[in-house]
Amino acid sequence: MIILGVDPGTLIAGYGVIERNGAALTLLDVGVIRNSGSDSMPLRLKRIYSTLCGVIERFHPDEFAIETAFYSKNAQSALKIGQARGVSILAGVNHEIPVSEYAPREVKKAVTGKGAASKEQVQYMMMTMLKLKETPKHFDSTDALAVAVCHAFRISAPRAGFKDWKSYIEAHPERIIKNRR
């Protein structure tokens, strides 16, 4: 299964493509989409969309995972991130790829064990898990890889495909261990 992970941003957006084969994770591609601050917002959004469409056409991912927007005290920043998220999601949807969203704390916890992990800790774990030989220049790219890895972990979890634990238990009553007192 091939997973495209995206860390949205209007100046720098990160992307990472991994392949999950059983428990093994393999890096296929990682990079950033760089925009100039002097470019208009429509041009930045077009570059994000076009680049992600190119990545999708090269790797044909089965799944698309993106980081959700975090709350910001600066409404303009939150709005811009929202626009970058929108065109990124549109690239996945237009290619008929299922899209999943993960909060930054959820991604960090999935790959480091701590929801408050630093970008350096996330980068270190991506270097280790994916056996990267070189450190990527931008945290945005390792953050995008972390989103993809988080998704790989989530879809391989026992309850994958179920909306909650209750529905999983109802579908698999044979997996319940009863207290034998």
Just list the catalytic residues.
7, 67, 140
CA distances from 31 to 82, 115, 145, 169 (A): 20, 24, 9, 40
Beta-strand relationship, 63-67 and 2-7: parallel
In one-letter notation, the amino acid at residue 20 is: R
Contacts of 107 (CB under 8 A, 6+ apart): 67, 122, 143, 146, 147, 150
Give a three-class secondary structure readout of 51-76.
Answer: HHHHHHHHHCCCEEEEECCCCCCCHH
Handedness of CA 141, 144, 150, 156 (dihedral sign): negative
What is the three-class DSSP state of 176?
coil
